[in-house]
Amino acid sequence: MKTKFKSLISKKVKPFIIAEISANHGGSLSKAIRMITAAKKAGASAVKIQTYEADSMTLDSNKNDFKINHGIWKGNKLFDLYKKAQTPFSWHKSLFNHAKKLGILIFSSVFDQRGVDLLDDLKVPFFKIASFEITDIPLIEYVASKNRPILLSTGMANEKEIGDALETIKLKGINEILLFHCISSYPSKVEEYNLNMINTLEKRFKVLVGLSDHTLGFEAALASVALGAVAIEKHFKIKKNDKGIDSKFSSDPEDIKKLVLKTEQIWKGLGAGKYERSIEEKKNISFRRSLYFVSNLKKGEKISKEDIKSIRPGFGLEPKYLNKVIKKKTKKQIKIGERVTWDNIE
C-alpha cells in the first residue's frame, strides 16, 4: 500500500480525527487554505475535502426530480447547491501542497472517475466513498483499482449494500478499509444515531469502524470511541458564527481541540480489558481487608477465633483463610496488630 494505514488508524493508536472542510470554504480557495491551517493548529489528524464539480454530480435541470424538497437545503436545485459547494478541481494541487507543507494529511471523497484520477495523481493517502455513493459499484470498483486504502460511509445502506461494496473492494485486493457509521441527515439528532451499529458493523464485516458525526455536539463522537470507533469525522468551519452550506452542523477550531483531547482521554481509558491494576490502584491495598492478630500470644500458643480479626489494611492473609488459621499454633511471640501470615503460624 502507499500509506502506513495501520499506523494511522487502528485500535492501537489514538482516534483519528478528521476535519471535514466540505462546502464551508464558501467558494474561496484562500479560505480553504486557511481552514487547513486552522485544522492543523487544532490538532486534527487529517483534513478532508470533496472532489467534485456540479456537472460531475447532477444535471442543470428544472425538473422536480432535481429540486430539494426537505431539510436545511430545501428550495435549492441540486445543480445550484453543488455549484456553491464544489471544491473545484483546479484548487486541488494548491490544497494538497499546503497540507504537505504543514504536515497534515489531506484526502477526499470522490464522485466520478475524473476526480479519482486527479486524486491518484496527487498521491492521496486514501479515498473516501460517501454514503450516497455506496451503491455506485462501478465507481467503487474504479476507486479500488487504484490500490489505496478506502474509507466508506454507510449512511442509509442496508447490510447487503454494505456487503456488496466491501466485496467489490476486496476483490481488487484492498484489505485496508474503514467503515464509517453515520446517519445521512443534516444535522442529525444524537438519539437517532444508533451508535451500537459500530459494534454490529465491526462484528459482521470484520473491519475497522469509525463515526461520521453530523450531530451538533460531541456526545455521539465521545460515546462512539467508548464503543470502539477508531476515527471521527466532523464537518469543520473557521469561526463559530460562519454562515455556509454546512455550517449548521460544523465544528470550529476550539471544538476540534476539545474533540482531539477528549477522544484521546477516552481511548486511553479503555485499556486492554484484562484483569490488571494500575500502579496507583495497587497502592490502595490498605483499604482491603485481611487477617490481623488482636491478641498477644506466646510462641506455640493455639490460635482461637477471638485472637484474629478481618480488618483493614490488606497486608495480611486474605479473610478466606480464617478457618484454616484457627487452631494453628504460633511460631513466635505475637503482639496485637501483627499481620497473620504463613510465616508466623505452624
Task: Report the alpha-carbon distance of residue 196 to residue 207 in Å, rounded.
Answer: 15
Residue 8, domain member (yes or no): no
Between these two residues, 320 and 85, which has the higher pLDDT value?
A: 320
Q: What is the pLDDT of residue 77?
A: 87
Residue 80, domain member (yes or no): no
Q: What is the CATH number of the domain that holds 340?
A: 3.90.1210.10
Residues 152 and 186 in one domain: yes
Q: What is the pLDDT of residues 85-131, one digit of tens each?
A: 899 999 999 999 999 999 999 999 999 999 999 999 999 999 999 99
Residues 129 and 218 in one domain: yes
Q: What is the CATH number of the domain that holds 185?
A: 3.20.20.70
The H-assigned helical ranges of the chain are 5-8, 29-42, 54-57, 78-85, 92-102, 113-121, 137-144, 159-171, 197-205, 219-226, 253-270, 279-282, 322-325
Instruction: Find the largest Cα–Cα distance for the chain.
Output: 103
268 CB-near residues (< 8 Å, 6+ apart): 14
Domain count across the chain: 2
> Could you tell me the residue range of the domain that residue 98 belongs to?
13-52+87-270
Q: What is the pLDDT of residue 1?
A: 38
270, 292, 309: which is the final residue of a domain? Answer: 270
Task: Report the alpha-carbon distance of residue 203 to residue 112 in Å, rounded.
Answer: 31
Q: What is the identity of the amino acid at 276?
A: E
Q: What is the pLDDT of residue 3?
A: 58
Q: What is the identity of the amino acid at 139?
A: L
End-to-end CA distance of the chain: 66
CB 249 within 8 A of CB 235: yes
Looking up cell 495497587 gives: 282
- Average pLDDT value for the chain: 93
243, 270, 297: which is the final residue of a domain? Answer: 270
Task: Report the alpha-carbon distance of residue 15 to residue 230 in Å, rounded.
Answer: 5
